[in-house]
Every structure is written in C-alpha cells, then in structure tokens.
Chain A
C-alpha cells in the first residue's frame, strides 16, 4: 500500500481507542460560521471600516454644528461694518494708537526746523494722516505726489496721483485719503517745463500706524466713559478671527450666515427633488404601459434642457422682489430641473425588481402590493436613493456657488459662500483671505459629501457584497 507523502504523515501518531467509532454527522453539519447580518447592519459595518467616509461624516456633522450652533456662540452681526478694520486679514495686528483728534498742520513750525535733503515724514505716520516733507528741487516749476502699493520704479506706473503743486517752494503734503495699516510707497516728482523729471524722483516707504481718538474709542466700547488713559496708549480693536471683508464685516459671522444659505440649498434641494423623483419614478414604474411612456418622455425633455442655462433663466423668470434673498426661487428652479435623473433611476430599479424571482415568489405566497412595496421594493431601492441623495448635495452646493458667483444667486446683502467668493475674487491679489475662506468652505463641504457618497456607495453596493 503506497502512500504519496502529503501534508504531515497522519499515521505517525497512534490512534485512540475510539478512533473508528461512528459519529453522528447530522448534528455535526456545519452551521453558518458567521452571524447573519441585515443589509443595513452590514452596510454600517462596511461604512465604519472606511476611514475616509467616517472622517467625512464627522466633517458634515461639524459643518451642521457650525451653521446651527455657531451663530449662538459667535454673536457678531454679519451685516455690521467695522470701518476701522476693512479687508483685515486674520493675522493682521489689531493694535490702535490712542491719539488726539486731528488738528490742522502748523506749517510755520516746520519752517523753523532744519531743512530736509530728501523725502521724509514730518510726523509719525498714522491712519489719520501722513505728513510728508521734502527738499526743494532746483529748476522745477512744481511737484506731483503719488502713492503706490508697490515700490516706486521710474519705468512703471507710480500709482495714485495725490496732488500737483504749481510752485517749486511748496514742499509739504498731507495725505488723509483712506489710509490703511499697510505699506505705501510715496513718490514726489519734480515738474519741469519739459514735463515730468523722472530722473529726480524722491521716494519713501511708509507704513501708517492705526490711530483712534478717545471719542471714537469710547463710541466703540474700547474705552469706558470715564476711563483716563493717556494718549499714546495702544488699544486692541475688536477681534475678527477670520478677518473682515471689503466692507469691514466679520468673515466668521458671514461664513456662518452663508453656510445657512449654502447648506440649506445644498441639503433641501436634493431632499426635495430626490423625493419628487422617487415618487414620479415609482408611479411610472408601477403604472407601466402608456402612463409610464408619457411620464418618461416628459422626464426626457426636462433632462434635455441645459441645466445651468435654465437655472439662470428660471431665476430671472421668478424674479427677486426688493428685500428678498432669492433663495426660494433658486430652490424651486433646482427642484424643477433636477428630478428626472432620480425618477429614471427609481423607475429602472422598480422595473428590475418587479422581474426578480423573489417578487414572484412573494406574490405566489399571496403577498399584497402594500407588503411588496414595503418589504421588498423600498428596502431594495433605499440604498440607491441614499447614494443619489449624497451625491446630489455637492452638485447642489456647486450650482448655488456658481449662480451666486455670476450674480444670479442669492441677492446681496444675504451672504452665501458663492457670493462671498465672488466678492473675494475682486480683492484676491491684495486680500486673498476674502476668497480663500469661502472657497475653502465650499471645497471642504463638497469633498466631505463626495467621500461620504463614495463610502455609502461601496457599503451599500450589493454586488460587491456578494463578490467577497
């Protein structure tokens, strides 16, 4: 008796006494080795295993909290303007120097002082005023004074023309034009009969210090009424954690307010159009025949409409009355145009499920239509619907942002992330934070919903489940 050597030699160990006693195999028959899970339990376990999806879920929760709870904690009026801090980046200094109210410049005192050789500051520069003093240039008939936010360069534009003197002996200039706490480059150029004498240009870099008077500080609540703080003290202005926009409105408060609009549209619109689509598709799928044909033909036509063009058109058609934000028209337009995709999907699912063997089996066992719908149809389409819903959120948010960006979305002053981006883009070069924050919120929201949708699709995909 030849043995092919396989595995270990089982004959090596001695066999026990009862080795060849028969066993009752029927009881030994293997049961299912793993516990049976319902569809949703299984999906939830899979979703939990997907780290990206779970992080996204938390981001979505955080965004909802930001929108709903945020305004309770951060009680700044999103419409209030802080004119001292306009287009303030979140990292900018909030210091303000307490100064006396501005008095006219006493030029006689300057005449007594020693003459200057170049462009200088006659007094420390504040946001109240920048007082410039320069040396008289020989052979000129006058001066031109410019202010720029880039370093002076004879070959480039000199910036904002502030003033022009027609006499050579006026050598002082006071700038009080909308001064901010940023670096300015002042340039003084002599004017000769031949024109501007660009070869002899005096330039000065000035960064004004923010100044505030006692009265102003008291009005803004930075100083109490009777507070006796000496001039020259540095006060702290109001805090704006994410800076302010071009009108001095608090970015954080506006982002919270904007989140309400963006998320309202982003979540309500998909809920509404998916619900409508499900109803429509289910009716078409169940009715079948001519009804189904007609209903689907209608859906086909709506699909053929170019989406964003008609969003714009509908927005115009609904019109925005004075004082309205335009959220509702956008919502209605979104629902009107977006439902067919879901309707088609659900109809397809219903038609498919109707043909499945388990439906026939249930029917043979006497199941009623209600039971079929509740027990078989809905649970088997819920997954697809849920995934559709999740993916509909980012596209709705995109649509809102796009429309608001081209000025066809919510009407100012109501902020939305899209309209804030639109405003931010204008000052992108000098104050990028006004664009970056709303853009970041849009992107993170869309990203979170996309990843969550991916996770849900993977978790609910029955095909993948059986493939394992």
Chain B
C-alpha cells in the first residue's frame, strides 16, 4: 500500500511537471511579446519582470528559470495588478472556490447515490421516470443557463415573498453558498445519478445478490450490505473527473453569482491576458486536480478490497 502511494505520488509529480511544461510552451506561442501587448505595463514592472523571468534570454533559459521558480512554489507577480503576487491571489481566493467546490461535490455525490439507488429500485415506475427525465434535462442544460435561471427564480421568489429566502449573489454567509453550490453540483449530480442507476441495475442482477436472496436475507440488508456498497464503486472511480468538472464549472458559477473565488479570478485574468496569473493558476489547478485524482484512487482502494490488498 505504502509503495503504491509513493508510486502514485511520483507519477503525479511527473504529470504536474508535464502540465507546467505544456503551460509554458502554450504561453510561449502567444503572438508577440507578452509584455508589449496592449496591456499597460509600467516600466518598473517591465524591468522587474524581465530581470525575474529572463524575458530577454533564450526560451530554454526562461524555461529553466520558470521551473526553478515553480519548485520554490513561486508563481510570480501579476501583470495587471502592481506588486500582487500570484501566490497571494491563490491564497486569498482558492479557499472560497474550495469551499464552494466541496459543498457542490458533497451535494452531487450524495444526491447522485441517493437518486440513482432510488431510480433503480423503482425501475420503470413513476419515480424513476420523473427523476430520469430531470437527470437528462440537467445533463443537457449548460451550467451557466442553470445558474442564470436559478438567479432569475431567486429574484422572482424574493420579490413575491417580500423578503429574501436566499441571497441572489455574493459571498459571505452560509446562505450565500447554498444556491451556487446546488447549481454547481447539479450537472454532476445528474451524471452520477445516471451512473449509479445503471450500476445499481447491474448489481441487482449479479450472482452474489441472488446468493444473498437464497440465504434468506431481508431485503433491507441485501440492499445496504450487498447492493449499495458494490454499486457505489463505479461512482467513486469517476469522482476524479467529477471534481475536475466541478472545478471548471466553478468558473462560470462564480462569475454569475459574483463569488470572489479563484475561478472567477482566472476567467478575469484570461480576459485581461494576465500571463503570470493564467500560468500560475493553470499549474496550480492542474496540480490540484492531479492530487485529487490520486486521493480518489486511494479512497477507492480503501473501499474496494480487491485494490486494497494488491
């Protein structure tokens, strides 16, 4: 087990290095000198940056400097905001995104398992039909549309009720988190519901569930001890991609709900072509997602004995 973890971590580091390299390469393809673009860069910043990143040096030297900085955990200074370190930006805004993301993934995973199991139990009957209709709907509607419509709905209900049940936008209290987290998790929840349903239907027809029935176990026990645990396994394997989807989905939701998260910051940086922030957040997000995939795999290994032992 320990060796497996170390192996995975080494693989993860290599992957992050690859992501960093690809990021560097991609940003170097940007036409023109990043500093001489129309973005106003004061001479101080310019001089500072040139010295720091060796922008007047050949690309390979720049790459070396870039990697060295990355190893020290230094993502550089923002191009558009004077003297603001990318590290500070991440430190300040990532916790907001993470809070939102954790809430959303909790909501998506618990909802997905619950609804998926429910639809499988009521296969082809009314609850199944209704839930699966909603699932298909939420899979097919882009997250920004759901976010916008939710906001519209909140405005209208708050208007009708005369008081605010949930804030329409902003960040701060827990009530601010509910609507965006639900919206952010909804698409993933729909996807997980579908997966859980088919996994559950597969498990229902397995030989070991038949054995459990032949053993005369009560239905409730068969459901909890034999079906649920086995059906959840495939859901766990896709949690890695699900976390990635929620992370990037967060960009849009943070934008629409005016949440000061890293996602919104990233989108703004992209729109303003703030190179260091783009590179820094990309590498940071990349490393975060690689790490999350490893965590999910380890959790899976903990739950599935077949992986745990080997």
Contact = CB atoms under 8 A, between A and B. Distances in A.
Interface in A404-421: 405-408, 418, 421
A220 to B, nearest CB: 34
A308 B145 contact: no
A421 B255 CA distance: 14
Interface residues of B, number: 41
Interface stretch (A130-138, A176-184, A277-285, A394-402): A394-402
B18 A306 contact: no
A451 B152 CA distance: 28
A304 B142 contact: no
A451 B139 CA distance: 11
B26 A310 contact: yes
Question: Chain B contact residues: over half helix, strand or loop, or mixed?
Answer: helix
Interface stretch (B27-35, B54-62, B106-114): B27-35
Nearest to B23: A313
Contact of B142 (A312, A421, A429, A450): A421
Given A406-B251, A451-B136, A429 B155 contact: yes
Nearest to A447: B140
B289 to A, nearest CB: 5
Contact of B141 (A308, A429, A432, A443): A443
B5 interface: no
A120 to B, nearest CB: 29
A451 B19 CA distance: 35
Contact of A405 (B30, B247, B252): B252
A301 B15 contact: yes
Contacts of A317: 26-30
Contact of B244 (A306, A394, A421, A451): A306
Interface residues of A, number: 39
A435 B148 contact: yes
Contacts of A406: 251-252, 255, 267, 270-271
B145 A443 contact: yes
A318 interface: yes
A316 B140 contact: no
B280 to A, nearest CB: 12
B26 A309 contact: no
Given A304-B19, A304-B286, A418-B142, 8 more contacts: A305-B22, A310-B22, A316-B273, A316-B278, A317-B28, A422-B144, A450-B136, A450-B139
Interface of B: 15, 18-19, 22-23, 26-31, 136-137, 139-145, 148, 151-152, 155, 244, 247-248, 251-252, 255-256, 267, 270-271, 273, 278, 282, 285-286, 289-290
